[in-house]
Structure 1
Amino acid sequence: TGVRNYAARNNLRRMQKGDEVLFYHSGEEKAVVGIAKVTRSAYQDPTAKEGDWATVDIAAVKALPLAVTLREIKGNSRLKGILLVRQSRLSVMPLTESDFCEILKMSTQ
Protein backbone atom coordinates (compact mmCIF):
# COMPACT_ATOMS: atom_id res chain seq x y z
CA THR A 1 0.00 0.00 0.00
CA GLY A 2 1.01 3.59 -0.42
CA VAL A 3 2.67 3.33 -3.86
CA ARG A 4 2.00 6.61 -5.64
CA ASN A 5 3.86 6.30 -8.91
CA TYR A 6 2.03 5.55 -12.15
CA ALA A 7 4.65 3.16 -13.57
CA ALA A 8 4.81 1.23 -10.27
CA ARG A 9 1.00 1.12 -10.14
CA ASN A 10 0.86 -0.34 -13.63
CA ASN A 11 3.44 -2.97 -12.64
CA LEU A 12 1.39 -3.85 -9.55
CA ARG A 13 -1.65 -4.36 -11.78
CA ARG A 14 0.27 -6.91 -13.87
CA MET A 15 1.03 -9.08 -10.83
CA GLN A 16 -1.01 -12.25 -10.46
CA LYS A 17 -1.70 -14.47 -7.48
CA GLY A 18 1.10 -17.03 -7.26
CA ASP A 19 3.79 -14.83 -8.86
CA GLU A 20 7.12 -14.93 -7.07
CA VAL A 21 8.74 -11.56 -6.43
CA LEU A 22 12.04 -10.36 -5.05
CA PHE A 23 11.87 -8.20 -1.94
CA TYR A 24 14.16 -5.16 -2.11
CA HIS A 25 15.17 -2.88 0.76
CA SER A 26 15.31 0.65 -0.64
CA GLY A 27 16.57 2.41 2.50
CA GLU A 28 20.22 2.67 3.45
CA GLU A 29 20.90 -1.00 2.65
CA LYS A 30 19.62 -0.96 -0.98
CA ALA A 31 19.64 -4.72 -1.52
CA VAL A 32 17.49 -7.64 -2.60
CA VAL A 33 16.95 -9.59 0.62
CA GLY A 34 14.25 -12.18 0.01
CA ILE A 35 11.60 -13.91 -2.04
CA ALA A 36 7.88 -13.33 -1.57
CA LYS A 37 4.77 -14.64 -3.29
CA VAL A 38 1.75 -12.65 -4.44
CA THR A 39 -1.21 -13.95 -2.42
CA ARG A 40 -3.82 -11.58 -3.87
CA SER A 41 -3.76 -9.95 -7.30
CA ALA A 42 -4.04 -6.19 -7.68
CA TYR A 43 -6.96 -4.39 -6.07
CA GLN A 44 -7.83 -0.81 -5.13
CA ASP A 45 -5.41 0.50 -2.49
CA PRO A 46 -7.52 1.13 0.63
CA THR A 47 -5.09 3.81 1.85
CA ALA A 48 -5.66 5.98 -1.23
CA LYS A 49 -7.72 9.03 -0.31
CA GLU A 50 -8.11 9.91 -3.98
CA GLY A 51 -7.04 8.59 -7.34
CA ASP A 52 -6.86 5.18 -8.91
CA TRP A 53 -4.10 3.37 -6.99
CA ALA A 54 -3.47 -0.35 -6.66
CA THR A 55 -1.89 -2.73 -4.20
CA VAL A 56 -1.25 -6.47 -3.96
CA ASP A 57 -0.89 -8.76 -0.97
CA ILE A 58 2.35 -10.69 -0.60
CA ALA A 59 3.70 -13.28 1.82
CA ALA A 60 7.32 -13.97 2.64
CA VAL A 61 8.69 -17.19 1.15
CA LYS A 62 12.29 -17.03 2.36
CA ALA A 63 15.22 -14.76 3.03
CA LEU A 64 18.09 -14.94 0.57
CA PRO A 65 21.27 -16.60 1.89
CA LEU A 66 23.12 -13.33 1.22
CA ALA A 67 21.65 -9.93 0.42
CA VAL A 68 22.41 -8.78 -3.14
CA THR A 69 23.26 -5.10 -3.07
CA LEU A 70 22.38 -2.55 -5.72
CA ARG A 71 26.12 -2.03 -6.23
CA GLU A 72 26.58 -5.76 -6.94
CA ILE A 73 23.63 -5.77 -9.33
CA LYS A 74 25.02 -2.74 -11.18
CA GLY A 75 28.37 -4.53 -11.44
CA ASN A 76 26.86 -7.61 -13.09
CA SER A 77 26.98 -7.23 -16.88
CA ARG A 78 24.09 -9.70 -17.28
CA LEU A 79 21.81 -7.32 -15.36
CA LYS A 80 22.78 -4.03 -17.02
CA GLY A 81 19.40 -3.70 -18.75
CA ILE A 82 17.09 -4.14 -15.76
CA LEU A 83 15.05 -1.20 -14.52
CA LEU A 84 16.62 -1.36 -11.06
CA VAL A 85 19.92 -0.32 -12.66
CA ARG A 86 18.40 2.37 -14.87
CA GLN A 87 15.59 3.63 -12.62
CA SER A 88 16.45 2.53 -9.08
CA ARG A 89 13.84 4.75 -7.41
CA LEU A 90 10.94 2.91 -9.07
CA SER A 91 9.39 0.86 -6.27
CA VAL A 92 7.80 -1.95 -8.34
CA MET A 93 9.34 -3.25 -11.55
CA PRO A 94 9.28 -6.35 -13.73
CA LEU A 95 12.15 -8.82 -14.10
CA THR A 96 12.64 -11.49 -16.71
CA GLU A 97 12.93 -15.04 -15.45
CA SER A 98 16.63 -15.07 -16.35
CA ASP A 99 17.25 -11.81 -14.42
CA PHE A 100 15.35 -13.21 -11.42
CA CYS A 101 17.49 -16.38 -11.52
CA GLU A 102 20.71 -14.38 -11.91
CA ILE A 103 19.96 -12.39 -8.75
CA LEU A 104 19.15 -15.61 -6.88
CA LYS A 105 22.46 -17.07 -8.07
CA MET A 106 24.29 -13.98 -6.83
CA SER A 107 22.75 -14.48 -3.38
CA THR A 108 24.64 -17.75 -2.97
CA GLN A 109 28.11 -16.47 -3.84
Structure 2
Amino acid sequence: MYSARERVENEEWIEELHEIAASIDLDADARSTAIDLFLSNLPDEERSKRAVLAASLYAGALIESDARSQGVVADAAGVARLTIQQRWKEILREAGMEPPTW
Protein backbone atom coordinates (compact mmCIF):
# COMPACT_ATOMS: atom_id res chain seq x y z
CA MET A 1 0.00 0.00 0.00
CA TYR A 2 1.08 3.57 -0.45
CA SER A 3 0.76 6.68 1.64
CA ALA A 4 -1.05 9.92 0.88
CA ARG A 5 2.35 11.57 0.84
CA GLU A 6 3.47 9.33 -2.03
CA ARG A 7 0.38 10.29 -3.96
CA VAL A 8 1.08 14.00 -3.45
CA GLU A 9 4.78 13.64 -4.27
CA ASN A 10 3.95 11.85 -7.51
CA GLU A 11 1.05 14.01 -8.65
CA GLU A 12 2.84 14.89 -11.91
CA TRP A 13 3.18 11.19 -12.74
CA ILE A 14 -0.46 10.57 -11.88
CA GLU A 15 -1.49 13.41 -14.15
CA GLU A 16 0.61 11.90 -16.92
CA LEU A 17 -1.00 8.53 -16.30
CA HIS A 18 -4.43 10.16 -16.74
CA GLU A 19 -3.31 11.79 -19.99
CA ILE A 20 -1.96 8.53 -21.39
CA ALA A 21 -5.08 6.65 -20.29
CA ALA A 22 -7.27 9.26 -21.99
CA SER A 23 -5.25 8.97 -25.20
CA ILE A 24 -6.00 5.23 -25.36
CA ASP A 25 -9.56 5.65 -24.05
CA LEU A 26 -9.23 3.65 -20.81
CA ASP A 27 -12.24 3.74 -18.54
CA ALA A 28 -12.22 5.23 -15.03
CA ASP A 29 -11.93 1.88 -13.24
CA ALA A 30 -8.85 0.93 -15.27
CA ARG A 31 -7.29 4.32 -14.54
CA SER A 32 -7.96 4.03 -10.82
CA THR A 33 -6.50 0.53 -10.67
CA ALA A 34 -3.46 1.66 -12.67
CA ILE A 35 -2.85 4.50 -10.21
CA ASP A 36 -3.05 2.11 -7.27
CA LEU A 37 -0.63 -0.28 -8.95
CA PHE A 38 1.76 2.52 -9.88
CA LEU A 39 1.85 4.03 -6.39
CA SER A 40 2.21 0.59 -4.80
CA ASN A 41 5.23 -0.20 -6.99
CA LEU A 42 7.07 3.12 -7.02
CA PRO A 43 10.71 2.64 -7.93
CA ASP A 44 13.42 4.50 -6.07
CA GLU A 45 14.93 5.84 -9.27
CA GLU A 46 13.08 8.61 -11.05
CA ARG A 47 14.10 7.26 -14.45
CA SER A 48 12.28 3.97 -13.78
CA LYS A 49 8.94 5.60 -13.04
CA ARG A 50 7.85 5.81 -16.68
CA ALA A 51 8.37 2.06 -17.10
CA VAL A 52 6.36 1.27 -13.96
CA LEU A 53 3.67 3.73 -15.03
CA ALA A 54 3.31 2.02 -18.43
CA ALA A 55 3.26 -1.48 -16.95
CA SER A 56 0.73 -0.35 -14.34
CA LEU A 57 -1.54 1.04 -17.06
CA TYR A 58 -1.37 -2.22 -18.97
CA ALA A 59 -1.98 -4.34 -15.86
CA GLY A 60 -4.76 -2.06 -14.59
CA ALA A 61 -6.56 -2.29 -17.90
CA LEU A 62 -6.29 -6.09 -17.84
CA ILE A 63 -7.64 -6.30 -14.30
CA GLU A 64 -10.63 -4.12 -15.16
CA SER A 65 -11.40 -5.94 -18.44
CA ASP A 66 -10.57 -2.85 -20.49
CA ALA A 67 -7.41 -4.34 -22.00
CA ARG A 68 -5.21 -2.71 -24.59
CA SER A 69 -2.25 -4.34 -26.29
CA GLN A 70 1.23 -3.89 -24.84
CA GLY A 71 2.19 -2.09 -28.04
CA VAL A 72 -0.65 0.43 -27.80
CA VAL A 73 0.14 1.22 -24.15
CA ALA A 74 3.87 1.36 -24.83
CA ASP A 75 3.45 3.78 -27.74
CA ALA A 76 1.15 6.04 -25.73
CA ALA A 77 3.52 6.00 -22.72
CA GLY A 78 6.68 6.48 -24.75
CA VAL A 79 8.36 3.22 -23.75
CA ALA A 80 9.30 0.04 -25.58
CA ARG A 81 6.80 -2.81 -25.62
CA LEU A 82 9.50 -4.97 -24.05
CA THR A 83 9.51 -2.63 -21.04
CA ILE A 84 5.88 -3.50 -20.31
CA GLN A 85 6.40 -7.16 -21.13
CA GLN A 86 9.19 -7.41 -18.54
CA ARG A 87 7.32 -5.68 -15.71
CA TRP A 88 3.57 -6.21 -15.76
CA LYS A 89 3.49 -9.72 -14.29
CA GLU A 90 5.63 -8.71 -11.32
CA ILE A 91 3.33 -5.75 -10.68
CA LEU A 92 0.37 -8.15 -10.53
CA ARG A 93 2.26 -10.48 -8.18
CA GLU A 94 3.13 -7.56 -5.89
CA ALA A 95 -0.60 -6.75 -5.80
CA GLY A 96 -1.32 -10.32 -4.63
CA MET A 97 -2.66 -11.55 -7.96
CA GLU A 98 -1.59 -14.47 -10.06
CA PRO A 99 -0.78 -13.32 -13.60
CA PRO A 100 -2.06 -15.40 -16.49
CA THR A 101 0.35 -17.89 -18.03
CA TRP A 102 -0.36 -17.00 -21.65
- TM-score scaled by length of structure 1: 0.25
More helix by share: 2
- TM-score scaled by length of structure 2: 0.26
More strand by share: 1
Largest Rg, 1 or 2: 1
